[in-house]
Structure 1
């Protein structure tokens, strides 16, 4: 069955009683079955391991999270950003450009990259036409959004309605608006068996331990000359504790072995788009609600989620170093509609996803919904620019001192 997902299908699903769109896809390491994969590590260098119930398996199965819900959302947002940068899709985007602020490294942050999206402190502490963003004509609209009044978010940052938002840093603090995720995705390794990892470094210059001690210079860098070293209480300052050449990244590193990585039977990406979460949203204009306008906005948000997910899948699943996964089956979206019935399955490729999304946006605009067609460009406030500048200077200084 190769039915294509169309705007009419999405619109009818949103308008009806369907529960969700769901995509489940098996993947394998790019190195082939049995190749080790390295999940993300969390506090203390730990992996997110757990036992899960798997259909067809009687006992719980050891699993490891390869890509978390938050990370999956970030991958989708970055895929949308790439498509927007390439002018393939229309999308409201807010940018903070640090150009001309004296930074050591150029920086541009968008509402698709900021951790808290439009409610992020980087946007809050930036200026629009010389006015604090949250006090500007656009930013102040966010102060009043909620489930029954989501029009401003649709206009300025629709991704917040898809991937979730908590305006905890705004004027209302912890009482700020909350929007639960409508789109949830996760990649899990099934039948996960812990492995080992090794590390070593051979210095081609064959720098020996006895070539030290190495001292730190007051003006940055290092020296072997005690007379050129920075002084602390009248004594020369060594790199690290003992002035070993390895403290300034020279010399061999003794080969080591430790726990790390997993082999898995396969990886499973499960992505779901909650239609009830979208149906809860209302989009009044001037205090007046229009059910047809609500449906147009909800449909456009569903199309945005489906498009973003498809774009992210087509970009590949090279999640991090030594965790490159490739699909072993075609991606299909299932519509979970009538209880007890077999879900209907649809295909959606990259070109089709973009076309579907574009059509949904045009329909929403035709229904009278506001939409930011051009990027909203902010500049950092003087204090934000100073904070980032000082942080970059500190990062360079600590690295030069052998502490980074």
Structure 2
């Protein structure tokens, strides 16, 4: 397919249908800090290691700027229905809007739940049995229809019911952001209180002398004395490129099965969702100190990667992806938008099961006043 060729429904369908078709769609996108080349950006920090920086054999230092899991968690909520006082999200009609009620009229969308259909919150609600049946159907027959009709983004971004059935489905869509050839920086700071509290007899001069400079002291924790903070993580200076790679795994897509009647429609529907998510404009505010934009001087290009490694340019954009997803939306019978309720008893029972298996002591439920299970003012 040449880059100038118009992308048709037939050509997109072939990505889902043709077992000898491309193995993947891939986008390589160069990003820039809003500060421009040479700007300092702040990667995510991880327990025990700080920044995730790998050193290659040639000495190149590569920093993870946004992981596969983090990118998935940023993309999945694009399908969530907007609040009532906002313009309706056109992507929300592509998937069932499943919400879990808890506390007093509070709800959380399944599109905001980290482990998707395999999350503890699902097992702790009256959605549990339907989710369990969908996973078991997949394990026993390979039929992913139950998952697709209830929580289709669990197929797009991957799901692992690791705490129950062990059903596991790979990601169809994977995105990651890395920075190449980075130098790690440090930063220091000094807090100075606006007044001398000891002079006002809030505490003694002796206490001030003892606790000043110790960030863990009670006076320092409350901001009453001088506190230095030295050699903290200060971001990374990027000498190479900041790159975002998006891959749509067409092999994994074509391994999805439904019933004898709906397998083709199921694959096409999931592909449509993946294309919409993959072409969604980047929300580059990843965290404080890390605001990225596409590099306008290096246009990003989609390519279809063949089994022989050949890479053919594909003219894929947000408009084409959304049009296709909307055209295929009704080819599969999805669940209606539904609300389910969190159950404290189900959560407690789930916890007791795993504690019993590990031989650990059981935990007691909190007693006393509190909102009843799933208390809500909505139906």
* Structure 1, gaps ≥5 residues long: 54-58, 102-106, 128-132, 215-223, 225-239, 391-404
2:170 to 149, 174, 180: 180
Equivalent position of 1:373 in the other structure: 336
Which of residues 301, 304, 307 is equivalent to 1:332? 301
Q: In 2, distance between residues paired with 1:177 and 1:45? A: 31
**Secondary structure of 2:111's partner?**
coil
1:134-189 Cα offsets, whole Å, 9 max, x none, are: 235x653333223721010110011111211111223x3xxx21111121111000
SS at match of 1:31: coil
| Paired residues of 2:125 and 2:346 also in contact (CA < 8 A) | yes
Q: Please give the alpha-carbon distance, in whole angstroms, between the structure 1 residues aligned to 2:115 and 2:217.
A: 43
Computed over aligned residues only, the root mean square deviation of the Cα atoms, in angstroms, reads: 3.2
Moved more, 156-165 or 325-334: 325-334
TM-score by length of 1: 0.73
Q: Distance in 2 between matches of 1:153 and 1:13?
A: 21
> 1-side partners of 2:161 and 2:111: how far apart?
15
Q: Provide the C-alpha distance between the structure 2 equivalents of 1:212 and 1:243, rounded to a whole number of angstroms.
A: 16
**Of 41, 46, 52, the match for 1:48:** 52
Counterpart Cα distance in 2 of 1:23 and 1:94: 30
Name the residue aligned to 1:93.
97
Aligned to 2:370: none
CA distance in 2, matches of 1:28, 1:242: 38
Given that 1:51 and 1:61 are in contact with CA atoms closer than 8 Å, whether structure 2 keeps it comes out as yes
Using the size of structure 2 for normalisation, the TM-score is 0.77
Match of 1:134 among 100, 107, 128: 128
SS at match of 2:113: coil
- 1:23 aligned counterpart, secondary structure: strand
> How many pairs were matched up?
331
| Pair 1:31–1:95, CA change in 2 (3 A) | same
**Mapping of residues 272-311 of structure 1, within 5 Å:** 272-284=247-259, 289-290=260-261, 293-311=262-280
> Post-superposition shift, 1:2?
4.9
What's 2:37 paired with?
33
With over 3 angstroms needed to count, the CA separation of the structure-2 counterparts of 1:208 and 1:122, relative to structure 1, is farther
Task: Classify 1:199/1:78 alpha carbon distance in 2 versus 1 (closer, same or farther; 3 Å).
Answer: farther
Change (3 A) 1:5 1:192: farther
Deviation at 1:281, TM superposition (A): 1.1
Once the two structures are superposed, residues 314-356 of structure 1 have per-residue CA deviations (whole angstroms, 9 ceiling, x without a partner) of 152111111111110333321113525342232303x433222
Structure 1 match to 2:74: 75
Distance 1:119-1:342 versus aligned 2 partners, 3 A rule: closer
Counterpart CA distance in 1 for 2:172 and 2:41 is 29
Q: 1:253 to 1:5 in 2, by over 3 A?
A: farther
* 1:258/1:297 CA distance change after superposition, 3 Å: same
Structure 2 residues not aligned, in runs of 5+ = 208-213, 349-362, 367-379
> 1:348 aligned to 2:317?
yes
Match for residue 168 of structure 1?
A: 162
CA shift, 1:382, in A, is 3.3
* SS of match in other structure, 1:65: strand
Superposed displacement of residue 84, structure 1: 9.7
